[in-house]
Amino acid sequence: MSDLADKILDSVFPRPSLSTKFSGRGGATMSAGRDDTKDKLPYTGTTVLAFKYKNGIMFAADRKTSGGYLRIFSLDTIKIEEVASHTVIGCAGLVADSQFLKGILEETNGSFGGKYRFPLSTEGQANYIVNLCRNFRFYINPWDMGLEIQAILGGMDFSGDFKIFEISGEGSLYKKDFTAIGSGTDHALGVLRENKKSLVKKNLNLQESMAVAVKAIYRAGEADSGTSDIRVAIPSIAVVTKTGVKFIKTENVKKVVNRVLEGEV
Amino acid sequence: MTENGEVCKFSEMSASRISLLGEFELKKFEAEQRMGEVFSVFVKLEPGNGYFICGGNAQFYRFSNQNFACVVTGASLSEINQGMELLQKVGSRISSVFSSDDFHSTVAMDYLSKYLRTDIRNMKKPQALAVEFFITDILGSLIRVSFQGDIEVDSIDNADNKILLLGGYDKKFREDFWEEIKQVPQSIDKEKMTEFAERLKDKLKLSKIGFVIP
């Protein structure tokens, strides 16, 4: 019974894998070569944050895509995306890796929902990404640290609970009430921690939450070269509520940016 | 298709095909016989809820999580245990790939049906796994998975029949059963239910009977 049951399980719920198991190439040589290159590899910077508020979850991100330490690719990038009807993902790190993950997540959400008539839970999606990252690290790219990304996944479950998960490229997963990722993490987290009581109690309204989010991105932008300055690029803000995902209009974010710059909040 | 509704004429079928079909029918017949007096019934109550009555010659089991409840009945205790193992297997796999919150009724239904369908057609196994599942979920669906892997889906709110039966394949048993089940309690009343269970047990000569409130 066991063999047949396992075979059917593997066909219905295959464990996530990126491709066939790695074999053949010399790990040690590659490792030495890759480490050398890695020192010279430019790292991309970003600040993405998420926290729970009165009506759900708020996501905010800067707009800069940088290539290495000196080059700015774009000041108009939207780094937070809706991957399912009540789920948002925000990524920091290599653009290619984050686009790849978003694509896989959208596909998985679609096929699970279509097949079983229930949406995937936020935790389910987070676990799926984590399994994928671990698989990448263990089998596909064993000489390196795995996918070069950090991600925040947040959303509402079928039961109506709001959940936020922080995921890192090597495959770790944390459940959080508020979090920030990217090169501006420390500065953004500083602002979030100043408001820790309200964030844990989830009693901020939309305007108050937007002020906290913009202030966090502002602080990060001031000190981190990988994060855009809010005076140059208006941050993108999205909320996940019981009605779904909504991106806040730029004009409305701009009003909050002005208040923050004038020191009103 | 021939005039008689057969897939093809008997003379056109190869010997191996006849033997395979025969084996399959034999396995099905044998499993039906063993499940002849094993049943699970959902009694619909107003508004939109109900309860299960399960009975037979072996103990039945209840499996539940936050998304659905399932009653497992079978011809023997070992087969019921295998049924429970299947549920636990798919549950643990989905927990490791996704999360335990994603173990929904439809996930269980799909896997159980696929397994049972493959199992009964596996000619290397002389006996089919005589185990059946009656699932009810948070959306009010009633899903019946028979030992052949066939699925029937009803909704508690829209089901035409007040009583939904799974199992009880013996013709004589089924006739007697329908006669008795007419007097089933229409409310969840412990005394009435116990009285009804005792009567049903005596009349149908069942060794086990019980209620499950999902």
Q: What is the 3-state secondary structure (H, E, C) of A158-216?
A: CCCCEEEEEEECCCCEEEECEEEECCCHHHHHHHHHHCHHHHHHCCCCHHHHHHHHHHH
Contacts B94 to A, Cβ<8 Å: 13
Asked whether residue A82 is assigned to any structural domain, the reply reads yes
Span B90-145, pLDDT tens digits: 999 999 999 999 999 999 999 999 999 999 988 888 899 999 999 999 888 999 99
Q: How far is A246 from chain B (nearest CA, A)?
A: 25
DSSP label of B41:
E
Residues of A in contact with B92 (CB under 8 A): none
What sign does the dihedral A14-A15-A21-A22 (CA atoms) show? positive
CB contact under 8 A, B90 and A13: yes
User: In chain B, helix, strand, coil percent, each to 5?
Assistant: 40, 25, 35
Other Cβ atoms less than 10 A from the Cβ of B80: the count is 22
Q: Both tokens of residue B74? A: 């079978």
Partners of residue B99 in chain A, C-beta under 8 Å: 121, 123-124, 126-127
Closest Cα to residue B111, out of B76, B68, B154?
A: B68
- Cis ω for the linkage preceding B185 (within 30 of 0): no
Contact B110 A115 (CB under 8 A): yes
Determine the distance in angstroms separating the CA of A78 from the nearest CA of chain B, rounded to an integer: 27
Q: Which two tokens stand for residue A218?
A: 């502002």
Residue A177 located in a structural domain = yes
Q: How many cross-chain Cβ pairs, A to B, lie less than 8 Å apart?
A: 75
The pTM of the full predicted model, rounded to 2 decimals, is 0.85
Interchain contact B78–A (C-beta under 8 A): no
Q: Are B131 and B112 in contact (CB under 8 A)?
A: no
Instruction: Decide if pLDDT at B25 tops 60.
Output: yes
Spell out the domains of chain B, with CATH numbers in brackets: 10-212 (3.60.20.10)
* Chain A residue with minimum CA distance to B117: A8
First vs last C-alpha separation in chain B: 45
Q: Show the 3-state SS of A38-72.
A: HHHCCCCCCCEEEEEECCEEEEEECCCEEECCCEE
Domain ranges, residue A148? 46-261
Determine the pLDDT at residue A45.
77
Residue B93 contacts A where some CB pair is shorter than 8 Å = yes
Report chain B residues whose CB lies below 8 A from the CB of A5.
Answer: 85-86, 89, 115
Quick one: pLDDT at residue B56? 85
Residue among A4, A117, A120 whose CB faces B98 most closely: A120
Q: B82 vs A118: CB contact, 8 Å cut-off?
A: no
**Which letter does DSSP use for residue B101 in this model?**
G
In the sheet that B151-155 helps form, which strands lie side by side, from edge to edge?
B61-64, B68-74, B131-137, B141-145, B151-155
Q: What is the CA radius of gyration of chain A?
A: 20
Minimum Cα–Cα distance from B82: chain A residue: A1
First to last CA, chain A: 65
Looking at the complex, does the CB of residue B137 fall below 8 Å from at least one CB of chain A?
no
Burial class (CB in 10 A: 0-12, 13-18, 19+), A134: middle
Asked if residue B196 has pLDDT above 80, the reply is yes
Would you say residue A171 lies in a domain?
yes
Q: Residue B79 corresponds to which tokens in the numbers above?
A: 């087969």
pLDDT tens for each residue of B42-52: 998 877 788 89
- CATH code for the domain of A191: 3.60.20.10
pLDDT of residue B6: 57
The answer to whether the CB of A57 falls within 8 A of the CB of A154 is yes
- The helix-helix angle for B105-121 and A2-12 (nearest 10°) equals 130
Whether B66 has its CB under 8 Å from any CB of chain A: the answer is: yes
Q: Is residue A180 part of a domain?
A: yes
**A116 contacts B107? CB cut-off 8 A:** yes
Cα gap A220→B201, rounded to integer Å? 73
Is B93 in Cβ contact with A1 (below 8 Å)? no
> What SS3 state is found at A183?
coil
d(CA B90, CA B68): 14
**CA–CA dist A80, A98 (Å, integer):** 10
> Across chain B, what does the average pLDDT equal?
87
Q: Which of residues 111-170 of A touch B (CB under 8 A)?
A: 112, 115-118, 120-121, 123-128, 131, 157-159
Q: How far is A5 from chain B (nearest CA, A)?
A: 7
Partners of residue A116 in chain B, C-beta under 8 Å: 104, 106-107, 110
Distance CA B89, CA A44 (A): 42
pLDDT at residue A27, rounded to an integer = 33
Q: Do A15 and B99 touch (CB under 8 A)?
A: no
**CA atoms within 13 Å, Cβ hemisphere of B45:** 12
Q: Which residues of A touch B104 (CB under 8 A)?
A: 116-118
In one-letter notation, the amino acid at residue A230 is: I
Residues of A in contact with B101 (CB under 8 A): 121, 123-124, 157-159
Cβ distance B86 to A124 less than 8 Å, yes or no, reads no
B93: how many CB neighbours lie within 10 A of its CB? 21
DSSP state for residue A140 in the 8-state scheme: I
What are the mean pLDDT values of chain A's consecutive 10-residue runs (265 residues total)?
A: 82 68 34 42 75 96 84 89 95 90 93 93 95 82 76 93 93 94 94 94 95 96 92 96 96 96 85
| A143 found inside a domain | yes
Cβ contact B132:B119 at 8 Å: no
Q: Which residues pair with A152 in a beta bridge?
A: A90, A166
**CA angle in degrees (0–180, nearest 5) for B100-B101-B103:** 70
Q: What is the mean pLDDT of residues B14-31?
A: 78
Residue A39 is assigned to a structural domain of this protein: no
User: Which member of A14, A16, A124 has the closest CB to residue B99?
Assistant: A124
Burial A222-240 (b: 16+ CB within 10 A, else e): eebebbbbbeebbbbbbbb
The answer to the question of residue A70 being in a domain is: yes
Question: B52: alpha, beta or left, given left = phi > 0 and alpha = psi -120 to 50?
Answer: beta
Is residue A26 included in any domain, yes or no? no
State how many domains chain A has.
1
Which residues of chain A have a CB within 8 Å of the CB of B89? 5-6, 9
Residue B210 identity: G
